A and B are shown apart, each in its own frame.
Chain A
Amino acid sequence: MDPAPTISTEGLSRRFGELVAVDGIDLRVAPGQFFGFLGPNGAGKSTTIKMLTGLLAPTAGSIEILGLDLRKNSVEVKRQIGVVPEGMALFGRLTGSEFLNFAGRMYGLDRETAAQRSVELLDFMQLADQPKKLVTDYSHGMQKKLALAAAVIHGPKVLFLDEPFEGVDAIAAGTLKAMLQGMIARGATIFLTSHVLEIVERLCSHVAIINRGRLVARGSLEELRAGVAGIAPVASGEFPDNKLSDALPSTEKMTLEQIFLRVVGGERRNDQELSWLG
C-alpha cells in the first residue's frame, strides 16, 4: 500500500477572469520525493506553487499537505513547510543575519536556536563575508541563497522552491544541490519548479509537466520515457530536418528536455527569421 502523500491536490483550479491558469490538477507527491514541476512559460507552475503554499487562493479544488487541509489548517501547515516563492519574500532593509534571525523566530524557533542556525546558514551559503550589508544590496544570486536559507531555517518537512537555481552561479548551485539532496536523504520532501531541465533531471526522482494549466505528464523519469514513446513529436524545432526516424533517439535514451519538448510541443516557426537583427 502506498504511503499517504505529502502533497495532494484534487481538481485544483485557478481562474484569473476569463483565463484558466490552472485547470483541475490532481497531484500526488509521496514522502521523501524530490519532485520537479515543469512547464513552459505561463503554463501555471508559479500559480500552482503559490496555491500549494497558501500565497494564492484556489478557485476550486482542495489541497492537503502532510495530511492536513491547507484551507482549514493553514497555520499548522505553514509551520511544517518552507517556501522560496517567485519574488523571494525578502525584507530588503535588514542585513542577512537579521533577516534569518527574524525568519527563525517567525517560524517559532527560540532566540538562541534562530541565532545559531543563522550563523550556520550564512556560513554554509557563503554569505557571511559582509555582515553589515543590507539584503537590498545583495546580488540576485545572493538573494536566492538567502531566501533558501530562510526557507529551511526551521527544518521544514516539505520545501517548495520556485526557480531556485535562476541567477545562481555554478558554485552556489552546487552548494544548494548538496543541501537539498541532504534534506531528501533525511526524509524531507521537495517540490521545485525550474527551467533548467538538466538540474531537474539530475536531482528529481519524480516529475510532472503542466501545459496551459493542465497536467500533461507525471511520474518517474522512466515512467515518462515509457509514456512518451507513443507521442509523436510536435516540435519541428526539435528536429529541423523533419527526418524523424533518424533524429529520434530511442525512448530509453531520451533526455528530460526531449521528453519535455515532445509532451508540450515546443512549436517554433523556422520560416520566420528576424532578418533585421545584426
Chain B
Amino acid sequence: MQSSYQLSAIAWLRWRLFVNSLRSARGQLELLSRILVSVAFIVGGIGGASLMGVVAYFLLSAGKPGMLALPLWGISFFWQAFPIMATAFTNNPDSSDLLRFPLSYGSYFLMRMTYGAFDPATFLGCLWSIGILFGLTFAKPMLFPWALLVLLAFVAFNLLFMQMIFAWVERWLAQRRTREIMGVLFVLLMLSFQLIGPLTGRFGRRPQPQMQRFIEILAPVQRILPPGLAADAIVQGIYPQWPAALSSLALLCGFCMIVGYGLHVRLLAQYRGENLSEVVAVSSLPRDRRLRLGWNLPVLTPPMTAVFEKEVRYLLRSGPMLITLVMPIFILFIFRFGPANTARHSSGFLAHTPNLAFPIAAAYTLLTLTNLVYNIFGGDANGIQFFYACPVRFRKIVLAKNLTHSLILFVETIVAWIAVTFLYGRPALDITIATVAGLLFAAPLNFALGNLLSIYSPKRVDYSKFGRQRASQMTVLFSLALQFVIVGVGVSVFLLARYLGNFWIAALALLVLAGISFLVYGLALKRIDALMLNRRETLMAELCRA
C-alpha cells in the first residue's frame, strides 16, 4: 500500500513537472518536437511490427518455425544496441534524488524499471514482439497463450538486460581503474571481431556441407541464449512437446533472474547510498605546491586556449562520451567482420562498394558528435555563470568549443581513414579529398545550427552519467532535419560523381558548398554575443538548476 502510494506520488510529480514545463514557449516547442519524434517512432514501430508479424506468419506457414530465432535475435540486438548508439533518445532517469524519502528498496527497483520502460528501444522492442505474437496467432491461433507467455519472458529479459548493462557500464566508467579495465575489454572485443572474418572465411572456402556443419555447430549455441530459448520454447509449443517447451521457458526465466540479480546488485548499492567519487584521504597526500601551467596554443588567444583545454579535459573524463566517439570504428569492424561478410561471400553493402566505406565512416563520425555539437553548454552546468561573469566575448568561447569539436572530428576522421584502409583497402585519393570536402561542407553547418540550438534549447547534462539524459527533443528534430539535408546533398553529389566516373567532380562541388557553409557559420557566429545576452535567463535557468 505504502509503495503503490509512493509510486503514484512519483508519477504525479513527473506529470506536474511535464505540465509545468509547458508554461514556457520552449516547453511547448519541446512537446511539439516530442510528438513529431514519437510519431516517427510509432510509424517505425508499427511498420516493424507488421514486418515481424508477416515474417512469423510466413515461417510458421512454411513449416520453418526453427527460423523464428532470427527475428528474435534481431529484436534483442536492436534493444540492447540502440540505446548506446542513439543516446539522444535514451532516458534512464536518475532517481537517486528520491532516496531522501522513505522509499523501500522494492519501490525503488520498481520505479527504475517503470521509468526505464519509457524508452524508444523498449517501445519498439515491445511493438515488434507483439507483431511476432500476432503473426504466430494468425498462423496458429491455439498457440496464442503459450506464445504470449514466452514473449513476455523474452520482453522482461530484454528490459532487465538493458537496464543492467546501463547500470554496470555506468559503474565501471565511474572510476579510473574500472574504466581502464573496461577500455581493455572493449579493445579485446573489437579484436575478437577480427577473428570472425577469417573463421567464417575458412568455412566459406569449404564445400557447402561443411558450411552447413558450421551452422549446425553454432545453432545449439544460440539456442541456449535468450532469443534462441524463446524461439525454441515457441517451436516446442507448436508440436507440442511440453517438457522441452517448459524447460526452454524455464531457462529463459533463469536468464531473467540472472540479469535481474545483476541489476539488483547495482540498484541495491545505489539504494544504500554508494559513492563512486575518486576521493583520496586528505592525510595520505602531501600539500600540492607544484606549478601547473595551462596549455599554450600559439594560434589561439589565451582565453580561447583555456576553453579549449577545459573542453578536452571534460571529454577525457567522460567515459560515456568516449564510448560514443569510438562507435564509428566499432561499426566499421562489425560491417567488415560481421556474419554477413566472409572472405568469399560478402553480402554487406560496403563489401560491394568499398570505395564508399570512408565517406560513410566519416559521415557517421560527424553524427556521433551530435550530442556535443548541439548542446555545447550542456556539460558546463553552473559554469555558464562563469562565462557570463568573465570578460570574454561569447563568440570566442563558442569558437573555442567548436574548435575542440573540429579537432575531435579531425582525429576521428584520420582514425576512420586508417581503419578503412585496414579493413577495405586504402581509399582512393579523389574519394578521400571528396570526403574531406564533404566534411568541410557538413561540419560548419552542424556547428552553426548546433550553436543556435545550444542557446535556444539548452539541456543540462552530466558527462559522467551513462544513458540517463535525453537530449532536448527540439534539438533532436532540428538536427535530424539538417542531417537529412546534408546527407541528401552529399549522397546526390557522390552518386552523380559515381555516375560520371569522376570523384574529383564531387570534391569540387563539395568544396564550393563548403565555402557557403563557412559563410553561414561565420554569420551565425557573429550573432552569438547578442543571442547569448538575450537568452541568458533561459540558459542559466536550465543549466544551473539543481
Q: Which residues of A are interface residues toward B (Cβ below 8 A)?
A: 53-57, 75-79, 83, 85, 87-94, 97-98, 101-103, 105-108, 110-112, 114-116, 118-119, 122-123, 128-134, 136-137, 150
Closest 4 CB pairs of A and B: A89-B385, A131-B288, A78-B391, A89-B386
Q: Is the pair A123, B289 in contact by a Cβ cutoff of 8 Å?
A: yes
**Stretch in B54-62, B244-252, B303-311, B422-430 touching the partner:** B303-311
The answer to whether B18 has its CB under 8 Å from any CB of chain A is no
- Chain A nearest CB: distance from B293 CB in Å? 5
Inter-chain CA distance A107–B386, complex, in Å, is 11
> With the chains together, A133 CA to B278 CA distance in Å?
7
Smallest CB gap from B534: residue in A: A57
From A98, A105, A129, A134, give the contact of B302 (CB < 8 A): A105
- What mask results when residues 212 to 233 of chain B are scored 1 for a CB within 8 Å of chain A, else 0? 0000000000000000000000
CA distance A137 to B281 in the complex (A): 13
Please, which residues of chain B bring their CB within 8 A of the CB of A97? 288, 292
Bound-complex Cα distance A132 to B391 (A): 28
Does any Cβ of A come within 8 Å of B389's Cβ?
A: yes
- Which of B310, B318, B544 is close to A102, meaning CB atoms less than 8 Å apart? B310
Known: A56-B537, A115-B294, A119-B289. A106 touches B390 (CB 8 A): yes
Contact of A130 with B314 at beta-carbon distance under 8 Å, contacts A79-B391, A90-B383, A101-B294 already known: no
- Asked if B296 lies at the interface with its beta carbon under 8 angstroms from chain A, I say yes
| B-to-A contact residues, CB < 8 Å | 277-280, 282, 285, 287-294, 296, 302-303, 305-307, 309-310, 313-314, 317-318, 379-386, 388-393, 463-464, 533, 536-537, 540, 544
| Identity of the chain B residue whose Cβ is nearest the Cβ of A79 in the assembled complex | B391
The docked-state distance in angstroms from the alpha carbon of A114 to that of B391 is: 16
Partner of B309, one of A56, A102, A107, A137: A102
Inter-chain contact A93/B464, CB cutoff 8 Å:
yes
> For residue B291, which residues in chain A have a CB less than 8 angstroms away from its CB?
112, 115-116, 119
Known: A110-B302, A115-B292, A118-B292. 17 other contacts (CB 8 A): A54-B388, A85-B385, A91-B386, A94-B313, A98-B310, A101-B292, A101-B306, A103-B390, A105-B294, A105-B303, A106-B307, A108-B302, A112-B291, A112-B293, A119-B289, A122-B288, A129-B282
CB distance from B537 to the nearest CB of A (A): 7
- Interface contacts (Cβ under 8 Å), in number, total 140
Which chain B positions have C-beta within 8 A of A76?
391
Write 17 A-B pairs (CB below 8 A) sorted by A numbering. A54-B388, A55-B536, A78-B389, A87-B540, A91-B380, A91-B383, A98-B313, A102-B310, A106-B306, A111-B293, A114-B294, A115-B292, A116-B291, A128-B289, A130-B282, A131-B288, A132-B280
- The answer to whether A83 and B389 touch (CB under 8 A), given A93-B379, A101-B294, A102-B294, is yes
Task: Choose among A89, A105, A130 the residue that contacts B285 (Cβ–Cβ < 8 A).
Answer: A130
Measured CA separation A108–B303 after assembly (Å) = 7
Determine the chain B residues whose CB is within 8 A of the CB of A87 once the complex forms: 382, 385, 540, 544
Does B289 lie within 8 Å of A53, measured CB to CB? Answer: no
- For the complex formed, measure the closest distance between the CB of B189 and the CB atoms of chain A, giving whole angstroms: 27
Most buried by B among A87, A94, A110, A136: A87
Distance, CA A8 to CA B536, complexed state (A): 23
Q: Contact: B317 with A85, CB < 8 Å? A: no
- B317 near A128: Cβ-Cβ < 8 Å: no
B292 pairs with A105, CB closer than 8 A: no
Q: How far is the CA of A97 from the CA of B310 in the complex (A)?
A: 12
Minimal Cβ-Cβ distance residue in B for A53: B389
Q: Closest chain B residue to A83 by CB distance?
A: B389
Whether B294 pairs with A131 at a CB distance below 8 angstroms is no
Known interface pairs A78-B389, A92-B381, A105-B303; A123-B277 also in contact (CB < 8 Å): no
B290 and A111: CB pair below 8 A?
no
| B445 shortest CB reach to chain A, Å | 29
B19 to chain A, nearest CB (A): 18
Residues A111 and B289 in contact in the complex (CB < 8 Å), given A55-B388, A75-B391, A90-B386: no
- B383 and A115 form a contact (CB under 8 A): no
Q: Is the CB of A107 within 8 A of B537?
A: no
B-chain residues with CB within 8 Å of residue A110 when the two chains form the complex: 302
CB of A75 within 8 A of CB of B393, answer: yes
Complex Cα gap A122–B289 (Å): 9
State the CA gap A219–B206 with chains docked (Å).
Answer: 96
Residue pair B386, A150 in contact (C-beta under 8 Å):
yes
CB-CB < 8 A to B383: which residues of A? 89-92
B306 adjacent to A105 (CB under 8 Å): yes
| Complex Cα spacing A54 to B389, Å | 7
CB of A162, distance to nearest CB on chain B (Å):
10
Residues of the B chain whose Cβ atoms lie less than 8 Å from the Cβ of A77: 391
Contact A57 B389 (CB under 8 A): no
Contact yes or no, A57 B536, CB < 8 A: yes
Contacts of A103 in B (CB 8 A): 386, 390
Cα A149 to Cα B533 in complex, Å, equals 26
Contact B313 A129 (CB under 8 A): no
- Across the interface, which residues of A come within 8 angstroms of B302, CB to CB? 105, 108, 110-111
Asked if A137 and B277 sit within 8 Å, CB to CB, the answer is yes
Partner of A129 from B287, B382, B391 at Cβ < 8 Å: B287
Residue pair B287, A123 in contact (C-beta under 8 Å): yes
Contact A55–B289 (Cβ < 8 Å): no
A169 CB → nearest B CB, Å: 14
Report the bound CA distance from A150 to B536 in whole Å.
21
Q: How far is the CB of B3 from chain A (nearest CB, A)?
A: 25
Determine whether the beta carbon of B277 is less than 8 Å from that of A134. Answer: yes
A114 (CB) vs chain B CBs: closest residue: B294
Interface pair A130/B389, CB less than 8 Å apart:
no
Q: Which residues of A contact B384 (CB under 8 A)?
A: 89
In the docked arrangement, what's the CA distance between A110 and B533, Å?
27
